[in-house]
Structure 1
Amino acid sequence: MKKKAVFVINLISGTSDKAAIPGLIDMYLDKEKFEYEIAITQYAGHASEIAAKAKDDGVDVVVAVGGDGTVNEVARAIVHSDTVLGIIPCGSGNGLARHLLLPLNVRKAIDVINRCEVRQLDYGIINDYPFFCTCGMGFDAFVSMKFAEAGKRGPITYVENVLREGLKYKPETYTIEDESGTLQYKAFLISCANASQYGNNAYIAPQASMSDGLMDVIIMEPFDVFEAPQISIEMFSKTLDKNSKIKTFRTRHLHIHRDEPGVIHYDGDPVMTGADIDIELKPKGINIIVNTMADRSERQPNALQNAAAELFNEINEIREGIAQSRRKFQQWSKAIQKRLNI
């Protein structure tokens, strides 16, 4: 018997034109396995409505065609059901798709749908908002808000906001409670990761798994301008967890208190919330089509990341040059003081 599939297409997500996607689906979807229909979203939240109706109608697979926001809308409507999530990544970051090593090429992504290999995976909830990739507060939530306000998408917009706002952002103090006790941190950001990255291969939690029943909690302590390039390099090279400014642990439930209400994000979507934040992981709560034949080339950084890495390396060289000049100045200063018997 053929499976029923609904492709939910968000035409305005990401930076690329999606007008050709319905034709590609018709051309490359295996018609012997699937009968399908296409639904185009018309407004925020529409993808959730389409997915919820599909679930109620007994549709086997709902495919989110868009970015992490579209994926989130579709996924939250079908959790704890037999309906399966498929993804054709067409967003600006594609964090969940990249974690799952799904192809960014539409035809190859349809091939993954055709194979329809399904796994039960985890998801999380932050103050009643489901997330499937990451959630958090502090600087990354602040940047998510700026990104949403920018009116245009793409990694360049994200990098612009990070560089412009990063040095001005003031860390907050958080009280964090989990099963092991309560601790207080002054933090630049706190991220809770079900998957390993924000998107664009920026790995906030390189060791995170969507099938271990736990979320990775990342606390980034305040750092200075000279430390920022190294942190950025480590995020793209999947070594951030080795940095001394990073504290990590795993848990299933977390309560966080901050001094006042503020912004949080779930899968990159910002929302204002109160001073108290509850985050919980839901083990094996959603069925997702995965790529068991992942090509390692899908893991390679894109041109923007390569350029950023080169820039950060140059900044590091400048930083080392400044440090050497500072050491020489200190040596000269001591020598002069010794000669003058100061």
Structure 2
Amino acid sequence: MKYLFIVNPVAGKGEGLNYIQEIKKLFKEEEYYIEVTKRKGHAIEIAKKYSSESDYIIYAVGGDGTVNEVVNGIVGSDSSLVIIPTGSGNDFIRTIDPNYKKKDFLHKLIGGNTTLVDIIKINEKYFLNIASVGLDADIVYNAIAFKKMKLVKGDMAYIFSVAKTIFGKKGIPLKVKLDGKEIWDGKVLLLAIANGKCYGGGIKITPNAEIDDGLADVCLVENSNLLKIFRLLPKLATAKHTESKEVIIYRAKQIEIEGENIFRVNIDGEIVESDRLIMQVIPKAIKLVIPEN
């Protein structure tokens, strides 16, 4: 078997680079390659190049964005995905290993089992974890802007962004269809389409989602006033938001979202803009290595 390690050198302040010497030690008897990404989208190119030439076990060494790029590079191939989480959020890994610890994690992966899991196609791209519209997408977008300010450091960017976004939030007018049936026409505070359970650094937005059931879990939060938003936020942290009457959970194979105007979309941590999204669950589309218990 051939092994490929795609390392994002900036994820988690360069934590992925610390794995290189351990990789060389553990795989010295194997055929392996290490590639360090140099720009956005580079992991897609690397994964696509190698998996088109042969079948590889491909390790994505980085955060959820790196994992997303590798997924888009191996779709349609027989290569397998392995995740070494070194980013700031590392949300998808919480779905397959809720109690993961970075120490000795590489050893757990070497002894892991390979299984087939779903992915979701969104327009012309794919994602493994969660795509969302509304409050959280705007928080991520605004945080990027705050991070560019010299006096704003670390988590302060997200704190400022949450405050700015919540107090300025008006809801997004959307039409939503699930499996061809219109289920919503109005303003939403947040809309998440999920394959995995967690996003935003561990928030279980869809706590009952499964990665191999052929369905996406859809969490729709109705547009709410500030008081209701502040009541909802603590529930999000404890996965009890699904008990709120403003929150509706659906399951579907196909999701269509149409906006009156262009809106922001958070796809596994990447922000894009669109006025129409078509999503389709692709069942058991890629091979994923689950860490050894």
TM-score, scaled relative to structure 1: 0.78
CA RMSD of aligned residues (A): 2.1
Aligned equivalents of 1:154, 1:121: Cα separation in 2: 34
* Residue 263 of structure 2: aligned partner: 262
2:96 corresponds in structure 1 to 100
Aligned partner letter, 1:269: E
Structure 1 residue 276: Cα displacement: 2.1
Measure the CA separation in 1 of the matches of 2:143 and 2:55. 34
Q: C-alpha deviations, 1:55-112, integer Å up to 9, x for none?
A: 0221421111111111101111112321000111011111111211177544422112
Mapping of residues 317-336 of structure 1, within 5 Å: none
Aligned equivalents of 2:156, 2:241: Cα separation in 1: 21
Deviations 1:270-308 (A, max 9, x none): 1122x2221111111111111241xxxxxxxxxxxxxxx
Please name the residue that 1:14 is paired with.
Answer: 12
Q: How does 1:296-311 map to 2 (within 5 A)?
A: none
Query: Match for 1:288: what amino acid?
Result: L
Q: What is the deviation of 1:17? A: 3.8
Q: Which amino acid aligns with 1:83?
A: S
Q: Give the total of aligned pairs.
A: 288
2:140 alignment partner in structure 1: 144
Larger Rg: 1
Q: Read off the aligned partner of 2:12 and give its amino acid letter.
A: G
Contact 2:109 2:292 survives alignment (8 Å): no
- 1:196–1:93: structure 2 CA closer, same or farther, 3 Å change rule? same
Q: Identity across aligned pairs (percent)?
A: 27
| Corresponding residue number in structure 2 for 1:281 | 281
- Paired residues of 2:111 and 2:292 also in contact (CA < 8 A): no
Which structure has more relative contact order (CA 8 Å, sep 6+)? It is: 2
Shift, 1:238, TM fit = 2.0
* Paired AA for residue 219 in structure 2: I
Residue 246 (structure 2) aligns with: 245
| CA shift for structure 1 position 235 | 1.8
Unaligned 5+ runs, structure 1 = 294-342
Rounded to whole Å, the distance in 1 between the matches of 2:271 and 2:68 is 13
Residue 23 (structure 1) aligned with residue 24 (structure 2): no
CA distance in 2, matches of 1:161, 1:287: 37
1:30 Cα offset (Å): 5.3
SS in 1 for 2:84: strand
Please give the TM-score of this superposition, normalised by the length of structure 2: 0.90
| Structure whose residues are more often helix by fraction | 1
Question: How far apart in 2 are the matches of 1:174 and 1:216?
Answer: 18
Deviations 1:96-142 (A, max 9, x none): 11211177544422112211411100111222221111002122222
Q: Distance in 1 between matches of 2:249 and 2:114?
A: 30
Assess, with a 3 A threshold, how the Cα gap between structure 1 residues 22 and 107 changes in structure 2: closer, same or farther.
Answer: farther
Partner residue of 1:319? none
Residues 13 and 67 of structure 1 are in contact (CA less than 8 Å); yes or no, is this contact kept in structure 2?
A: yes
- 1:133 aligns to what? 129
The equivalent residue for 1:192 is 193
Give distance in 1, aligned partners of 2:278 and 2:237.
Answer: 29
